[in-house]
C-alpha cells in the first residue's frame, strides 16, 4: 500500500523574495525563503502523520520518499508522481530537469509496509 502527496507554500513567496532581492533586502529574502521551505516540509510531515493516524498505524510505521534524495536519487522519477497526482492543480509544475516550481514545494510517495526503511546496511555473515 502506498500514498502520494504534493504540498506547496505557493509562488507568492518566490515573488516576494525576488522583489526583496531586487531592492537589496537580501537578508529578508533569505530568511523568508528558509521559512517557506521549512513550512512546505512541515506541511508534508503534517499530512504524512494525518494519513498514518487515519490508517491507525503506529507513529514509526511508514516512510516518506521524495525523488532527488539519497533514498530515491533519480529526480526524473518525479514525473510518475505527477502522472498520479497532477499537482499543477495546486500550482506546482516541473521544469525539464524535474525540479518543482515553486521551489517551496515537496512531493512524495509514502510506503506503509512495516519493514520500510530509508537505508538498510547489512554485514556479511562471518564464516
Which position has the higher pLDDT, 36 or 61? 36
Judge residue 104's burial from the number of C-beta atoms within 10 Å of its C-beta, 0-12 exposed, 13-18 middle, 19 or more buried: buried
Q: How confident is the model at residue 115 (pLDDT cuts 50, 70, 90)?
A: confident
Average pLDDT over residues 43-63: 90
Q: How confident is the model at residue 27 (pLDDT cuts 50, 70, 90)?
A: very high
**What pLDDT is stored for residue 122 in this prediction?**
61
Coil, strand or helix: which one is 108? strand
Domains along the chain with CATH numbers:
2-111 (3.40.109.40)
Looking at every residue in the chain, the average pLDDT score rounds to 91
Asked if the model's pLDDT at residue 90 lies above 80, the reply is: yes
Average pLDDT over residues 64-83: 91
CA–CA separation, 67 vs 76, rounded Å? 8
Asked if the model's pLDDT at residue 54 lies above 90, the reply is: no
Average pLDDT over residues 96-115: 92
7, 40 contact by CB (below 8 A): yes
Amino acid at each position: 500500500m502506498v500514498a502520494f502527496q504534493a504540498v506547496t507554500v505557493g509562488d507568492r513567496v518566490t515573488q516576494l523574495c525576488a522583489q526583496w532581492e531586487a531592492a537589496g533586502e537580501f537578508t529578508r529574502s533569505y530568511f523568508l525563503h528558509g521559512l517557506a521551505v521549512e513550512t512546505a516540509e512541515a506541511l508534508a510531515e503534517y499530512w504524512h502523520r494525518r494519513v498514518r493516524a487515519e490508517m491507525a498505524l503506529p507513529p514509526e510505521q511508514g516512510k516518506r520518499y521524495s525523488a532527488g534524495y539519497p533514498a530515491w536519487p533519480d529526480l526524473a522519477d518525479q514525473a510518475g508522481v505527477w502522472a498520479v497526482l497532477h499537482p499543477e492543480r495546486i500550482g506546482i509544475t516541473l521544469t525539464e530537469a524535474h525540479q518543482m516550481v515553486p521551489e517551496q514545494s515537496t512531493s512524495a510517495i509514502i510506503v506503509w509496509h512495516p519493514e520500510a526503511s530509508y537505508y538498510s546496511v547489512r554485514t556479511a555473515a562471518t564464516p
